[in-house]
Amino acid sequence: MYRLKILITVVLVAALSACATVDKGMMAVSDSVSSADPVTGQRQISLVSEQEEINRAEAATQQILADAKQKEIAVDGEHYEQVLRVFNRLVQVAHRQQLPWEVHVLDIDQFQAFTIGGGKVFVFSGLFNPNIGVQTDDELAAVLAHEIAHVAARHATEGQGKLMITGLASKSLRKDGYEAAFTTNQEDEADRYSVIYSALAGYDPKAGIAIWKRLNSASGSYTGNMLYDHPLPDDRAHNLESYAGLAEQYYTPGAMNPQHDELLKGNEVFAYKEIQGPAAGEGGGFVALLETAANTYSEVLDAKNEQAKRQMKQQKQQQQAARRLLFQGLKIAPAQGGGQGLFGTAANAASDEIKQATIVVEYWRGQAVVRQDKMQWPAMNVNERRQFGIPLQPIQYTSVSIRPLYVQVAGE
């Protein structure tokens, strides 16, 4: 927050004086806390230089690879040639081509890819899971283009600076999900940029839609945890349909678009705008600080809107869940093996089979919830009624309740 105090102080001074020296100082302050976004050109908070970003990524990469070796995790084995081939083609049409780009495949059975900035991208072998994983080069490109977009937009370093300067990293706000909402907006931004990279490299920009529809079918779009930091699968598929529809015009199957450099600065999905304005000493410093503050404030509002949207979605899903899965005849009684248990009957009140559900058992002490236990509920047939017993925790409480947070039925 120290740099923010300096920024505010300089703005106040400038309001009282048109001194050229002060304005030059303001430009120096602006340059120390912001830079042009590589994708949009807008001035954004950035507390880390590109070289420092690269140095950090290099060091982190070496540490990740060393840890993998120590844990006997295979690196760059199966699927590596396919990943490298697709990755190299995407990098040729992306922003920040001057970075020391590098990709590695770690033999870990999780559906995941990530970047640490500085051109470094990692893919887990679980990304190729035969049931939900990528099935074509186009789908692989969708995943890799998303990570490349994070690097291109400097999300790793920009995010840290924006969260710190706007105060979004404070504990009180994090409890309300603002930090997670901020990160979710970065994920959506990466999805938006990624369809252009895929299209320009000759990969189907709509391929990512199929991935998220499969994941939504497999696991649903659960919002019981307000601090989820990625767009939910159904939201992601819906947004990608919109972005990809705009990017299709730049796509020729298997062929790199010869105008890719020009299209990075102007296309139907996003646009690049050079920073323009008066020079330092002629009001440029004040304009630079004002633009930085305005862009940061806009992102704060976006994060708040995202947080409000997820609250509404959570309430809607929980209301829907309460109509689909009913818990009746509840009582607390001794459980087999000792202790107490919560017993009752669960009823499928939906018009279809319940594929999966997440429920929460809450322990109350007076009017306050002192503990929550979330758990998965098994599938239930249409109109099925099932008796259940759940062992209770050996803690002090005055009452216990149970309710569904999320219920997915067949066909969703």
Q: What mean pLDDT comes out for the span 78-97?
A: 96
Average pLDDT in the chain: 79
Express each pLDDT in 124-170 by its tens digit: 999 998 888 899 999 999 999 999 999 998 887 764 434 333 343 44
pTM above 0.75, yes or no: no
Nearest Cα neighbor of 342 from 351, 331, 350, 352 is: 331
At 39 the pLDDT is 84
Under 8 Å CB-to-CB from 39, ≥6 apart: which residues?
A: 95, 149, 152, 153, 193, 270, 272
Express each pLDDT in 364-406 by its tens digit: 999 999 999 999 899 999 999 999 999 999 999 999 999 998 8
Residue 235's SS3 state is helix
CB-based burial of residue 394 (10 Å sphere; 0-12 exposed, 13-18 middle, 19+ buried)? exposed
Question: Rounded distance, CA 340 to CA 233, Å?
Answer: 38
* Cβ-contact 100, 119 below 8 angstroms: yes
Is the pLDDT assigned to residue 71 strictly greater than 50?
Answer: yes
At 101 the pLDDT is 97
Is the pLDDT assigned to residue 195 strictly greater than 80?
Answer: yes
Under 8 Å CB-to-CB from 23, ≥6 apart: which residues?
A: 14, 280, 281, 282, 283, 284, 285, 286
Which structure tokens are listed for 212? 């998220």
At 237 the pLDDT is 86
* Cβ-contact 35, 162 below 8 angstroms: no
At 205 the pLDDT is 97
Start-to-end Cα distance in the chain: 46
Residue boundaries of the structural domains of the chain = 37-275, 318-409
* Cβ-contact 131, 172 below 8 angstroms: no
Residues paired with 404 in a beta bridge:
359
At 336 the pLDDT is 85
Amino acid of residue 3: R
Express each pLDDT in 218-244 by its tens digit: 665 554 443 334 556 677 888 899 999
Work out the percent of the chain whose per-residue pLDDT is above 70: 70
Question: Rounded distance, CA 48 to CA 32, Å?
Answer: 9
Residue 154 or residue 205, greater confidence: 205
Is the pLDDT assigned to residue 1 strictly greater than 70?
Answer: no
User: How long a stretch of residues is the chain?
Assistant: 412
Express each pLDDT in 308-343 by its tens digit: 776 777 788 888 899 999 999 999 999 888 899 999
* Cβ-contact 374, 224 below 8 angstroms: yes
CATH class of the domain whose range is 318-409: mainly beta
DSSP string spanning 192-233?
A: HHHHHHHHHHTS-TTHHHHHHHHHHHHH----SSTT--S--H
Question: Rounded distance, CA 367 to CA 353, Å?
Answer: 35
SS3 content of the chain, % helix, strand, coil (to 5): 50, 20, 30
Is the pLDDT assigned to residue 15 strictly greater than 70?
Answer: no
Question: Rounded distance, CA 192 to CA 89, Å?
Answer: 19
At 49 the pLDDT is 82
Q: Which has the minimum average pLDDT: 22-31, 50-59, 164-173, 389-398?
A: 164-173
At 408 the pLDDT is 86
* Cβ-contact 262, 219 below 8 angstroms: no
At 399 the pLDDT is 94
The top-scoring range by mean pLDDT among 75-79, 91-95, 123-127 is: 91-95
At 218 the pLDDT is 67
Question: Rounded distance, CA 103 to CA 259, Å?
Answer: 25
Residue 289 or residue 173, greater confidence: 289
Confidence label for 274 from pLDDT (cuts 50, 70 and 90): low
Is the pLDDT assigned to residue 207 strictly greater than 90?
Answer: yes
Handedness of CA 7, 12, 15, 16 (dihedral sign): negative
At 410 the pLDDT is 86
Residue whose structure tokens are 């659960």: 222
What letter does residue 40 receive in the DSSP assignment?
T
